[in-house]
Amino acid sequence: MRGTTRLLGVIGDPIQHSLSPVMHNAAIADLGVDYVYLPFHVKPSDLTPAIKGFEAIGVQGFSITLPHKQTILPLLTRISETAQAIGAVNTVWWTDQGWSGTNTDVEGFIAPLKSEQRDWANLTAVILGNGGAARAVVAGCALLGCQQIRVVGRNAPKLSQFVESWQQSPFTMTLTAHPWADLPTLLPEAGLVVNATPIGMAPQTAQSPLSADLIGHLTAGAIAYDLIYTPRPTRFLEEAQAQGAAPIDGLEMLVQQGAAALQIWLQQPAPADIMRAALLDHLAHR
């Protein structure tokens, strides 16, 4: 680092577990650009002064993780259409007019699906969970062209609110809300099943969002996508693959949302291979 080094970073509470500094600093080193990417622990009550401070010290851009993805919205001058539809921002950059924000989780989610040859318009997507990541998944499925999206949740009022929140979005898909009890009928029709819950994430690796009874309803040839990246694979993906489904884990989403953010900040292509390798190396040694 020198006097000219420009600042990027990530804000969150907590922030200690963030993998973003690992992959972004690996990319920065590979590109040989004069930047550094730092973790910033920002508590909810400190969000406004922290962002004001970022402006004052010339931070160029930053990533946003829990719990600030929604609360950052009023502090931004411009929000991309996708981020508006999702209602959450994960990437911010400084412009002459102020802070601009978008959501690269959508691009990250879609990236590993692009190589799948599917008739997206006629494929039904089933999404398990209705939290923040599920919002990026809905937008991603809609952008791929899925017309039928089923969201499965355990909290009925929260789930209805989730579905209603998409009514003003630019997307034209049919989005329906379902309790977990509907899965025996939903799974046989699903071409894509996404786990957007933390069920199965380390250290609870013996868990799966689909019980032994339910996994049997998954069709061979369906895509089983788990947003979780520790462990790789999760129990859900192992069992889905044994059923003949095509498994995708969450690592590529993490890499590609980061690469898309870095590309915005640096205005040049990001080395996704370097970022992936840095993450894999870090995960293998922690």
Q: Which is nearer to ligand NAP, 210 or 266 (CB)?
A: 210
Q: Which residues here bind ligand NAP, judged by CB under 6 A?
A: 105, 108, 129-134, 153-155, 158, 196-199, 201, 227-229, 250, 253-254, 257
The CB-of-252 to ligand NAP minimum distance in angstroms stands at 8
Q: Which is nearer to ligand NAP, 123 or 251 (CB)?
A: 251
Beta bridge partners of 126: 150, 193
The CB-of-227 to ligand NAP minimum distance in angstroms stands at 4
The residue from 43, 69, 114, 158 that is catalytic is: 69
The CB-of-120 to ligand NAP minimum distance in angstroms stands at 21
DSSP output for the chain = --TTPEEEEEEESS-TT--HHHHHHHHHHHHT-SEEEEEEE--GGGHHHHHHHHHHHT--EEEE-TT-TTTTGGG-SEE-HHHHHHT---EEEEETTEEEEE-THHHHHHGGGTTS---GGGPEEEEE--SHHHHHHHHHHHHHT-SEEEEE-S-HHHHHHHHHTTTTSS---EEEEE-GGGHHHHGGGEEEEEE-S-TT-TT-TT--SS-HHHHTTSPTT-EEEE---SSSS-HHHHHHHHTTPEEE-SHHHHHHHHHHHHHHHHTS---HHHHHHHHHHHHHH-
Tell me, what amino acid is at 61?
A: G
The CB-of-105 to ligand NAP minimum distance in angstroms stands at 6
222: nearest Cα among 141, 128, 147, 126: 126
Q: Which is nearer to ligand NAP, 198 or 231 (CB)?
A: 198
The CB-nearest residue to ligand NAP is 131
The CB-of-200 to ligand NAP minimum distance in angstroms stands at 8
Q: Which is nearer to ligand NAP, 103 or 169 (CB)?
A: 103
Q: How many CB atoms lie within 10 A of CB 286?
A: 9
Instruction: Give catalytic status of residue 69 as yes or no.
Output: yes
DSSP output for 89-128 = --EEEEETTEEEEE-THHHHHHGGGTTS---GGGPEEEEE
The CB-of-61 to ligand NAP minimum distance in angstroms stands at 18
Tell me, what amino acid is at 247?
A: P
Q: Which is nearer to ligand NAP, 23 or 146 (CB)?
A: 23
Q: Which is nearer to ligand NAP, 131 or 231 (CB)?
A: 131
Tell me the catalytic residues.
69
